[in-house]
Amino acid sequence: MNEIWHNIQIIFEQKELVEKSKEVISTTNPELGDMPTTTNRIIKYLNSKNRYELEELGVVDRTKTILYMKKELTKKKLIVQLEEKC
């Protein structure tokens, strides 16, 4: 009986985690929107510019800016994976 009760508790904990995950998905998806498409375009644009053109645009550090943009892409991928698992 104790083993069954332990398994039931695990099931309820997992159900709570799934519900919390769905809440995160529902709030994060609208925030990210179409960001992956836009982010990829921006990264390509930044890579096509030379140092002087970037200075005119106000981009001080191309690498840092691109890494920030890729972080947003990673966030979107994680949300999609979480959505698939839920």
The CA–CA distances, whole Å, from 59 to 35, 36, 53, 55, 63 equal 19, 20, 9, 6, 10
Mean pLDDT, range 77-83, rounded to an integer: 81
pTM above 0.85, yes or no: no
Higher pLDDT, 82 or 47: 47
- By residue range, what is the domain housing residue 24? 2-85
Convert the pLDDT of each residue in 7-50 to its tens digit. 888 888 888 888 888 888 888 777 777 777 788 888 899 889 88
Would you state the pLDDT for residue 1? 65
Q: Total domain count for the chain?
A: 1
Do 21 and 62 touch, CB atoms closer than 8 A? no
Asked if residue 56 has pLDDT above 70, the reply is yes
Residue 72: C-alpha distances to residues 1, 17, 28, 64, 65 (Å): 47, 23, 11, 13, 11
